[in-house]
Homo-oligomer: A and B are copies of this chain.
């Protein structure tokens, strides 16, 4: 939610001159995306988003992200389309950072998602999974089960300063998830971070998906578990089963879940809760001085984790039998 890299007017004009976009008319740093610097760019051809990729994004992953957006847009998914320069390259360098220009997408994130939004997100997620078929590149999910223990180790010593007992409870959840993590579920391209910030609506209609910078190759049902966590809990920490039902039903309208995916949903949801709790915890314990971004509360996801502990089947999320 910040602009980390400042770009001078001369650098920007020189960069944009490599594209068929006409002259730069305006550029405004925007509060969008947590990881990168984003500018709203106005050129003689229209409005675009200019992204400068910051240190947390691995440069070697950028061709995957750029290629994926091209693949998904070509298959009709409404997502930002990378603009190519005159030599056919979508990825360039600006102000010392890798940079890309993508199309501007109308729509706004909803702050308080309703049941209708959850249904639409489920449907869009399934469309994303189908549109991802045939994408040739692969990127392992660095933040799946194998990635959690290193995060836990980084946070363990100080975890109890956030809430007493957090270190022990995390260790227990981690151990049980490592033992029970499902293998062999249908794999494909997943978004892996489809939070309300990353889904645009125009009125009740879902108008687009953005921010593919955690996308990777993993179990499709895990993506649904991420969305259940991100969309279907109320601010008081309770799970809203009506929203869960709408989301799962929306998903299955487009891509019915296989029995193994249905059975795995509780452990996937618990794993997804642990994943966001751990990354938030590490960020929380390591806020740099002068940070521009307020860290997100890890305890929100700790409470979700505890909820999933009591779940026995996908029916508890509202999936119709």
Contact = CB atoms under 8 A, between A and B. Distances in A.
Secondary structure dominating the interface of A: loop
Interface residues of A, number: 37
A121 to B, nearest CB: 15
A42 B106 contact: yes
Interface in A231-245: none
B29 A30 contact: yes
B40 A30 contact: yes
A74 B211 CA distance: 42
A203 B40 contact: no
Interface string A47-58: 100000000000
A110 B201 contact: no
Contacts of A110: 9
B27 A108 contact: yes
Contacts of A10: 111-112
Given A10-B111, A112-B8, A201-B9, A106 B25 contact: yes
Contacts of A200: 26
Nearest to A105: B26
Contact of A25 (B3, B9, B202): B202
Contacts of A202: 23, 25
A209 to B, nearest CB: 14
Contacts of A165: none
A9 B109 contact: yes
A31 interface: yes
